[in-house]
A = this chain, B = another copy of it.
Amino acid sequence: MSSSNIRRSMPLFSIGIVMQLTELSARQIRYYEEHQLITPMRTDGNRRLFSLNDIDRLLEIKDLLEQGVNLAGIKKLIIVNETEFVSNKPIQKSEEIRKDLSDGELRKLLKSELLHGGRHRTTLRQGDMSRFFH
């Protein structure tokens, strides 16, 4: 893992700030955690602490939900995304990724994601927190 990734996974933000940054309710954020879409750290006193990566993922989740993907689907997509990052060909094209990973129900999920609107952008690959820092 690069030092940049270490920094991006540093637990820094309270849930209040994350609510503002993502425009999600505390209920939503906790619900997504409950379903293991994010796993923020905890303080000694059991308060959640979110990293930049967590916030990026929340923005991803929000985006996918708005496109009609349900939590189960998002979960799979996130795993895809992580696998992709761990692999040593991180710059392969999205078409190739889809070919690599389209088996079983995963294929259906990805297809439904593709069918939804022409909004292709960087949703799965990169969060939006970068805009907060240089």
Instruction: Find A133's partner among B14, B21, B131, B133 (CB 8 Å cutoff).
Output: B133
A94 interfacial contact with B, CB 8 Å: no
Task: Name A's B-contacting residues (CB within 8 A).
Answer: 4, 7-8, 10, 12-14, 16-17, 21, 43, 49, 52, 131-134
C-alpha gap A133/B10 in the complex (Å): 10
C-alpha gap A44/B133 in the complex (Å): 24
8 A-B pairs closest in CB distance? A4-B134, A133-B133, A7-B132, A14-B14, A12-B17, A7-B133, A10-B132, A12-B13
B residues within 8 A CB of A8? 133-134
C-alpha gap A7/B134 in the complex (Å): 8
A43 and chain B: residue at smallest CB distance: B16
Q: List 20 A-B contacts (CB under 8 A).
A: A4-B134, A7-B131, A7-B133, A7-B134, A8-B133, A10-B132, A12-B12, A12-B13, A12-B17, A12-B21, A12-B132, A13-B13, A13-B17, A14-B14, A14-B17, A16-B43, A17-B49, A52-B133, A133-B133, A133-B134
C-alpha gap A59/B7 in the complex (Å): 18
B residues within 8 A CB of A7? 131-134
CB distance from A90 to the nearest CB of B (A): 16
